[in-house]
Amino acid sequence: MSLVKDFLYTHLSLRGEKTFLKENTKECTFIDTASNILDYADALLNLGIKCGERIVLILPNSSEFVFFYYASALTGIISVPVDTRYGISEISQIIDDCDPKAIFCFSSYKKKNYKVILDEIYKNREQKDQIIFLDETPLNQRNKYPFQNEKSNILRRLDEYKPLSIDEPFVILYTSGSTGKPKGVLLNQRNLIKNSLAVNSRLKITDKDIFLLIVPFSHAFGSSVLLNNAFTAGSTIIILDVFDPEESLSLIKDENVTLLYAVPTQVVQLCEEMEKSVIKKTSLRTGYISGASCTPELIELLEKKFGCKACIAYGMTEASCISISSPDDDLYVRSKSAGKAVEGTMVKIVDDEKNKVKNGMSGEIAIKGESVMKAYYRNKEIEDWFYTGDIGVIDDEGNLKILGRKKDLIIRGGFNIFPGEIERHLMNHDFVEIAAVFGIEDKTFGEKIVACVKTKEKSKVSGEELSNFCKQFLASYKIPDYIIFVDSFPLTASAKIKKEELKSLVIKELSNERKSLTIFENF
């Protein structure tokens, strides 16, 4: 199985002059990319950082992130990406846990002054890690090597790096931490490359494809999935720092983008933007939609608006992509399931005693295979199956449907209720953009169902109308007891709804006599 170093050799030999990264007006061919990766790798070693030690990257979507990421793969130094939207406490927690030898960032970004932030974090610490601001100390050594970008020179420099084990730790990704302390997911090259090759095979990705990056490199969707999918295939990535639907649509058109990797919220916004646009057809051929619950109607709308045969994927930081359908599957499979497990990953559904259940029965999703992490950082290795905490069902054709999180299960009057089912149903309503469902404690029923709803722009619908809409299709015990209208949701940096924070806000609101939110009570 090939390492990152082997892929660099291949790209230099077959497509050296081809553009790999395009960021604003800046383009990097595979030759440019390899040269920069080697510069960054040399710089890391010159700083005295050794194989197995950690570096923290507080970087936006950028070519610099890519150079650091793959420099880690050459040197055995472990990259720890940190989202630029994180606050002091989140950054501090990660630094405490991973104990980095160096931190790389820009001195300021999007109104955040990282000199001030890092001074605050380190003011009471005895150990002072190396902090390097890339806008003040660039790492690429343009004058160090004559004929820097000559292929023969790059290949010679690449040869100087000894091959690493494919099981050498490569990256630590911290889970978004919507509840509790974030955990470091330790991944190696085997995990990430094996998974990328499997996804590329399923989606038929080649070096002719063009990706648009609108998800963060600092999270699994952006780096473990999109970046590595593009890198192993030899494709091109159009880098967008911050998602903007109008700019994204313009780039899809102007750059002939063929692959859309997005969360459902972004898809909704792109479809709304397409509605206002004069563009009638795009170059998108397929998409990878993941990160949150996605309705069948949204996949249908994406195909109608963009001509894009998008696929719902099921994945997690601990295993990258676990299952995804294929653009060759019919619309029913692509819109109502996350398809079949990717090559090299085994999936089964188990009951509360961890026994495998029959097809068609729901239970916890368990996974095993080369894409699955070996361990959380500073924890013992996983010995066998990894239990995801997600609830799903596998049909007789082997397609996986996700029902929700095990911990999110609502038990109302003795009935088990999956919030995801109610959320998907509410989002089928023409006027609903996003819905979040959870349970709150109740003396009579054990729990009551709360549905928080954000309506589409310029749309008006009452709680009673939505309640009646649910009653048409859902069992009586699944009808929300409260329907609460909100203007926005608290989100994690990876665009997932912070349900615990939302739940706290709702409980506080329900306890107030003078309520600031519009609440429909269905009892």
326-342 mean pLDDT: 96
Asked whether residue 148 carries a pLDDT value surpassing 60, the answer given is no
Tokens of 2: 């090939």
Tokens of 417: 């209720």
In this predicted model, what pLDDT tens digit does every residue of 175-207 receive, in sequence order? Answer: 854 445 789 999 999 999 999 999 999 999 999
pLDDT of residue 37: 96
Residue among 260, 230, 422 nearest 327 (CA):
260
Q: State the DSSP code for 478.
A: G
Is the domain 409-521 a CATH 3.40.50.10490 member? no
pLDDT of residue 178: 43
Asked whether residue 380 carries a pLDDT value surpassing 60, the answer given is yes
Mean pLDDT of the chain, nearest integer: 91
pLDDT of residue 513: 65
Of the chain, the percentage scoring pLDDT greater than 70 comes to: 96
pLDDT of residue 361: 96
Q: Looking at per-residue confidence, does 46 or 86 come out higher?
A: 46
Asked whether residue 38 carries a pLDDT value surpassing 60, the answer given is yes
Q: Is 291 left (phi over 0), alpha (psi -120 to 50) or beta?
A: left
14-20 mean pLDDT: 97
130-145 mean pLDDT: 76
- In angstroms, the CA 357 to CA 393 distance is 9
SS3 309: strand
In this predicted model, what pLDDT tens digit does every residue of 265-284 receive, in sequence order? Answer: 899 899 999 998 888 889 99
476-494 mean pLDDT: 89
Chain centre to alpha carbon of residue 493: 10
Residue extents of the structural domains in the chain = 1-10+29-188, 409-521
Dihedral (CA of 184, 187, 191, 192) sign: positive
- In angstroms, the CA 80 to CA 152 distance is 32
In this predicted model, what pLDDT tens digit does every residue of 388-432 receive, in sequence order? Answer: 999 999 999 999 999 888 888 898 887 878 898 899 899 999 999
What's the helix, strand, coil split of the chain in %, to 5? 35, 25, 40
pLDDT of residue 74: 96
453-475 mean pLDDT: 91
Q: State the DSSP code for 324.
A: E
pLDDT of residue 85: 86
In this predicted model, what pLDDT tens digit does every residue of 79-125 receive, in sequence order? Answer: 999 999 888 888 999 999 999 999 999 999 998 999 999 999 998 88
pLDDT of residue 381: 83
- In angstroms, the CA 402 to CA 313 distance is 10
- In angstroms, the CA 396 to CA 394 distance is 7
Give Cβ neighbours of residue 307 (< 8 Å, ≥ 6 apart). Answer: 281, 282, 284
347-365 mean pLDDT: 96
Residue among 245, 241, 243, 236 nearest 279 (CA):
245
pLDDT of residue 143: 44
495-508 mean pLDDT: 89
In this predicted model, what pLDDT tens digit does every residue of 206-261 receive, in sequence order? Answer: 999 999 999 999 999 999 999 999 999 999 999 999 999 999 999 999 999 999 99
- In angstroms, the CA 81 to CA 68 distance is 10
CATH number of the 1-10+29-188 domain? 3.40.50.12780
Chain centre to alpha carbon of residue 127: 33
pLDDT of residue 207: 98
- In angstroms, the CA 34 to CA 40 distance is 10
Of the chain, the percentage scoring pLDDT greater than 90 comes to: 73
- In angstroms, the CA 170 to CA 78 distance is 5
In this predicted model, what pLDDT tens digit does every residue of 47-65 receive, in sequence order? Answer: 999 999 999 999 999 999 9
- In angstroms, the CA 278 to CA 446 distance is 52
Chain centre to alpha carbon of residue 218: 9
Query: What's this model's pTM, rounded to 2 decimal places?
Result: 0.85
- In angstroms, the CA 261 to CA 235 distance is 14
Q: What pairs with residue 348 in β-bridges?
A: 366
